Amino acid sequence: MFCWVAVAQDVASPGTPQNSAAAESEAAAASQPPNGSTGNDSGAAAIGAPKNAGNFFQRFAKAYTDDWKGSSESGPEPKFRGYPSPVNGPPFPFSDWPYGGSPVISKPWTQSGPLMQALWTGPHGEAWKNSGVQIYGWLNTGFNVSTSDKGRYANAPAAYALVPNSIQADQQVLYIERQPDTVQTDHFDWGFRVTQLYGIDYRFTTAKGIFSQQLLGTTHPDGTIGKEYGYDPVMAYVDLYFPHVAQGMNVRIGRYISLPDIEAQLAPNNYTYSHSLLYTFDAYTQTGINATVKLNDHWMVQAGVSGGNDVAPWSGDAKPTLNTCVSYTWQHGADNHYLCLNSLNDQKYAYNNAQSAYYTWYHKINTSWHTGTEWWYTWEKGVPNIAGNVANPPPTEINANGAFCNAGQRVCFAPETAVVNYLVKQLGPKNYLTIRNEFFDDIKGQRTGFKTKYSEHLIGWGHWIGTTVLFRPELRFERSYDLPAYDSGTKKNQLMLAGDVIYFF
């Protein structure tokens, strides 16, 4: 959905697209956490420490010092089924090509951050390990220096770095989670995740009907909406794993990240600090039920029903919404094609009721280079005309734009299309380079609030300290071609130096 700000003259306040990102880059799969290894969706790899080595705070501090010194213990290579993981995570945000709605079926959950290391090596460590429950999270702060400065959120439609020339507390996140063991094929297993987020990024993740009064309850004199900082329980679901359906089926029930996308809402699940326009203006979360079935090493299928994009089932905007995806992997895991119909219902204008279709292609070029390309098409029907060329148009919702329709139309069909490419190189075990290029066509101005075409180009660097601190500086240039869309609708171009730090616990 959208999320944020005021747009400009003659435009309703946009909402923030919610990721569709979906994938939440859930390339962090299944089994009980071993004492070692890498590859997880929080970014923090395993850290070892002697059992009962001091009190909790001493063990917690030692987990960091061991990690930063590179003296952490690592266990044997964990078992998995299917193709080996195509890339290394870390330094990358995932090890397996990401998809949403499920842990990666057939791969182990190898995460273990400093907080869990401190608990596992304490007097009740075995009980924690046997429960399979982990508590972890991160603190995330970003900055930007921008050519825009006219207004509180003048960097928009860029995201998440909305406030120009500032330092912002983007997202402070706490997870409580258990993942089912999807490597084994003997018995039913289960998991859950509860995620708490606080920061300015709530403006993007908010779903209508879930603490949404923080964002939708206030319109300020300058046209901006909502509190600048807020809280969002961005995920709350259970996973039910059935090993005897094909090569494994996971059923997810609750509020989850929508399925497709290279990017995701949670900071560690992305190559870069800022997001593409494509990701910024699609769906972020859905509340419903989704089934993911691994048919074999090549094919995976998904299907589900939710209340719609970024709306609670009890919201007045909720309506039965279908999603379905199919994935094909080949070249021993080096290539993946992922086709999704992320949301389909009556298609009528409502809060972030974007109907959407996606195609994503991931390709491993060689041991250090890989690429991901995503194409996206969204649409809504019956969108109110805000072009000022018709009398008495229907009202728009707060944080859900109208469209610039043809003269005389009270409502119209509002489509958008976009494509983004990531070209990524691993520079070593702790460093990587990201190049991002995209094109976005807001055909009726319904997503960004401006009827224009955009391009966006970025170069970024990711650098790890151990596996618990990540720096991501970047340089980003974007252009609006048909009319000024940046700096509160006064400029066609925007140049931004930005970056963030993620500190895992």
H/E stretch holding 202 reads: helix 202-205
Query: Domain count of the chain?
Result: 1
* CATH code (residue 167): 2.40.160.10
CB atoms within 10 A of CB 201: 29
Give the tens place of pLDDT for each residue, 357-407: 999 999 999 999 999 999 999 999 999 999 999 999 999 999 999 999 999
- Non-local (6+) Cβ contacts of 70 within 8 A are 466
Give the tens place of pLDDT for each residue, 433-476: 999 999 999 999 999 999 999 999 999 999 999 999 999 999 99
Give the tens place of pLDDT for each residue, 66-109: 999 987 666 678 899 999 999 999 999 999 999 999 999 999 99
Q: What is the reported pLDDT for 78? A: 87
Give the tens place of pLDDT for each residue, 166-181: 999 999 999 999 999 9
pTM: 0.89
What six digits make up the tokens of 250?
């996971």
CB atoms within 10 A of CB 455: 14
What six digits make up the tokens of 69?
């010194």
Q: What is the reported pLDDT for 52? A: 61
Please return the burial class of 366, using the count of CB atoms within 10 Å of its CB with bins 0-12, 13-18 and 19+.
exposed
Partners of residue 337 on adjacent β-strands: 328, 361
Q: What is the reported pLDDT for 74? A: 67
Q: What percent of the chain has pLDDT over 70?
A: 89
**How does the average pLDDT of the chain come out, rounded?**
90
Which domain covers residue 104, as residue numbers? 2-504
Residue 299: name the closest of 251, 242, 339 by CA: 339
Q: Buried (b) or exposed (e) across 25-46, using 16+ Cβ within 10 A?
A: bbbbbbbbbbbbbbbbbbbbbb
H/E stretch holding 213 reads: helix 213-216
Three-class secondary structure of residue 425 per DSSP: strand
Q: What is the reported pLDDT for 443? A: 98
Average pLDDT over residues 278-293: 96
CA distances from 175 to 91, 258, 324, 469 (A): 21, 18, 27, 17
- Non-local (6+) Cβ contacts of 214 within 8 A are 202, 206, 226, 227, 230, 231
